[in-house]
A and B are shown apart, each in its own frame.
Chain A
């Protein structure tokens, strides 16, 4: 691949729209060519700047202004045409007449030329007031074009309705709902020269993977703090469990791991495919853990190719995994299980979790297979009393710059939920506008920043990548 080819396709690479072979070739080229790497860095920087652009809040009275303008326009249309025809705006009869007239004119237009004379008698059947001089003066179709807009606008016989002023005035100042394109955003190569890609203002409302561009689900209540569109409705297929995919980002693709794989995975082709798909882990069953009680979590790991899979866990302070073997694995962590797995025959690991203290607890899951290691962090909240998870809890955001680790730690407590995220995302910077946000809104912003999306099963959220994931 030439530099020219690479540079002309940076946008497609950015949007992750290239065929796998081309993408791999680009990744390889970017890794070896400092000049292109620099271009890629600049491209990402420009995109980050663009996407960070937030519109200001619209004027709070804008809906009211629109309403008033609409009413004014309708009135002036009445007056103009009313005076044209009868000298005063006599609405109901006038418009009934206009409607009849327009039908009549249409008939004239549609009937053979020799028939128009009949229309007069048809009109004569109408009530006295409906006979409009307008028709007599301008019987030909072009007459329609003059009051056309007004006719449409006023076709309704209903009187004008105005909603109470109070409804409008309570409209708060809101931030505009920005949405980032919900596609995967490959990260820049680690050595790219521009260093402030992440710390941009987050466009407020990344709507993940919903087919619709607008919040169709419900109108925004007037007092809603901000129209940050909610996270897409939980989309996990029934019985599919909580999917997570440790799929390498392009950054990882360029990592030394790439060189390590062919050794065991049976040829470069397979190794590439393995990198492409990554390991997939599903959470078959999740129950929120209570203090000092054992909860059973079942995890299923599905590798992209037949391999020997090892799963280990590294509990941090305050939590035990009673069924983990007391032996340490080479990659750290305590062995949960191992065995041969294929895409058709995944391995299922039960994991028992016992919180020994309340607060936010953390586990690291380590899956190793064919020389690759994937790590996930599980963050969850444990309180003294069983608490009800609430993904829509209102959360006060008092600072706007977070690492994902801090943000999820905070959210886990506020939402009483559990998060499972690829470990490499934890240090990602996420910018959340301060104020009252629902948990879902914040998670929506995380999707934008991480380029991955959330899957929800029950009260649990797993961050995944887009590619290949349903």
Chain B
């Protein structure tokens, strides 16, 4: 079996990011659409992790692409287009975050609706699914507790899988800084994560029977 090709992207499938950028700079909106199609999921994932909710992440993704388009002429090709795009995304999310109130830690173990849903995942049994969801939400909330620079580096390196060099370009700091920041951020995450566990143990919540299907 073969993958089915997307109809709309056939024409641009074979083009490199650089070539698409070149065409987009010349005003070719289709080329820019192709760049969007290629990168929006990763940008959305990055924004989601940075912001902690899907609606904001979608808006931030849109904003990041608009900004990228506006500034396309400034893109010199020193780094990969994706790296440059991540940098814009991180900055958009950073501004976004500053405008919001931080989540108080006391709310960490609260359920908050279906903000995070892992679409199409199997649901082996309600209990397990509930635990997973709770865990996911907890990770997300603990992440939101971290200072911006810690959260950024954790997300870029541990979740998005960027190398130190790439993360350094995205964040605009030296590679050594990324490394040391990542290590400190992980320890901070671990501390908060344990704290969440302790608080959860203090007031455990159980799933509501077996009706979650």
Contact = CB atoms under 8 A, between A and B. Distances in A.
A54 B186 contact: no
B122 A434 contact: yes
Contacts of B183: 11-12
Given A178-B159, A218-B13, A53 B82 contact: no
Nearest to B81: A214
Interface string B78-98: 001011001000000000000
B145 interface: no
Contact of A219 (B13, B122, B161): B13
A227 B39 CA distance: 10
B119 A55 contact: no
Q: How large is the interface on A (under 10, 10 to 19, 20 to 34, 35 or more residues)?
A: 35 or more
Contacts of B14: 218
A205 B41 CA distance: 12
Contacts of B163: 211, 213
Contacts, number: 250
A218 B9 CA distance: 10
Contact of A433 (B34, B36, B116, B120): B120
Given A166-B8, A213-B82, A435 B120 contact: yes
A92 interface: no
A163 B33 contact: yes
B160 A179 contact: yes
A67 B36 contact: yes
B212 interface: no
Contacts of B38: 214-215, 219-220
Contacts of A51: 158-159
A214 B42 contact: yes
B187 A10 contact: yes
A163 B118 contact: no
Interface residues of B, number: 82
Contacts of A400: 121-122, 124
A46 B26 CA distance: 47
Contacts of A153: 69-70
A207 B161 contact: yes
Interface string A380-392: 0000000000001
A203 interface: yes
A155 B119 CA distance: 41
Interface of A: 10-12, 14, 17, 42-43, 45-47, 49-59, 62-63, 65-67, 69-71, 73, 149, 152-153, 155-158, 160-164, 166-168, 170-171, 173-182, 201, 203, 205-207, 211-216, 218-224, 227, 392-394, 399-401, 433-435, 438
Contacts of B140: 53
Contacts of A53: 49, 136, 139-140, 143, 159
A147 to B, nearest CB: 12
Contacts of A14: 186
Contact of A42 (B44, B62, B190): B190
Interface string B153-169: 01001111111001000
Contacts of A17: 179
A177 B45 contact: yes
Given A49-B139, A182-B161, 5 more contacts: A54-B136, A62-B61, A219-B9, A222-B7, A434-B120
B48 A219 contact: no
B57 interface: yes
Contact of B36 (A42, A66, A212): A66
B66 A203 contact: no
A10 to B, nearest CB: 7
A176 B44 CA distance: 8
A55 B30 contact: no
A320 B96 CA distance: 64
B124 A401 contact: yes
Given A156-B26, A179-B161, A220 B69 contact: no
B33 A63 contact: yes
Interface string B1-20: 11111111100111011000
B30 A163 contact: yes
Contacts of B161: 178-182, 205-207, 213
Interface in B26-72: 26-30, 32-34, 36-42, 44-45, 48-49, 54, 57-58, 61-62, 65-66, 69-72
Interface in B155-213: 157-163, 166, 179, 182-183, 186-187, 189-190, 193-194
A186 B135 CA distance: 23
A58 B61 contact: yes
Interface centre among A51, A176, A392 (most CB of B within 10 A): A176
Contacts of A433: 118, 120-122
22 contacts: A46-B186, A53-B159, A57-B120, A58-B61, A62-B62, A66-B65, A70-B29, A70-B66, A163-B29, A176-B41, A178-B45, A179-B159, A201-B118, A215-B38, A216-B82, A219-B6, A220-B38, A222-B7, A222-B9, A223-B3, A223-B6, A438-B3
Contacts of B118: 54, 56, 175, 201, 433
